[in-house]
């Protein structure tokens, strides 16, 4: 009987420790419902870029940068340096969409 009581108390204390551990590691991240601007090639941008990046991350990279070749540099950096599987045809469509809708002027 004494062994059963000790075993039960041990199991109960372990379950409390495990419950507390779960709360320690819980992280609540904010949710942003990005509404992408409608435009020609928006679908190409979404299919190729949003598989790895959130819109906020992409547009955050452009803060403080400007120039007509800004998005060209960013898109081809993804392809050349980070090996993004984007065809040249789709890269040009993405650049056009970004230039028309998200260029810092």
52: left (phi over 0), alpha (psi -120 to 50) or beta: alpha
**Phi-psi sector, 67: left (phi>0), alpha (psi -120 to 50), beta:** left
- Residue 105 DSSP SS3: coil
Half-sphere exposure of 12 (CA within 13 A, CB side): 6
Tell me the pLDDT tens digit for each residue of 83-94: 999 999 999 999
Of 57, 48, 30, 56, the C-alpha closest to 87 is 48
Look up residue 25 and give its DSSP letter. Answer: T
On whether the CB atoms of residues 94 and 51 are closer than 8 A, the answer is no
pLDDT single digits (tens) 12-56:
566 555 555 556 677 777 777 778 899 999 999 999 999 898 888
CATH no. of 42-101: 1.10.760.10
Structural domain boundaries in the chain: 42-101
Is pTM beyond 0.85? Reply is no
CA 18 centroid distance within chain: 30
């Amino acid at each position: 009987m004494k062994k059963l009581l000790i075993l039960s108390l041990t199991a109960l204390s372990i379950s409390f420790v495990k419950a507390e551990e779960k709360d320690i590691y819980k992280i609540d991240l904010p949710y942003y419902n990005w509404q992408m601007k409608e435009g020609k090639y928006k679908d190409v941008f979404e299919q190729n870029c949003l598989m790895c990046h959130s819109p906020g991350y992409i547009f955050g990279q452009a803060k403080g940068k400007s120039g007509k070749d800004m998005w060209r540099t960013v898109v081809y950096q993804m392809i050349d340096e980070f090996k993004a599987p984007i065809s040249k045809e789709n890269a040009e469509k993405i650049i056009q969409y970004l230039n028309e809708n998200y260029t810092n002027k």
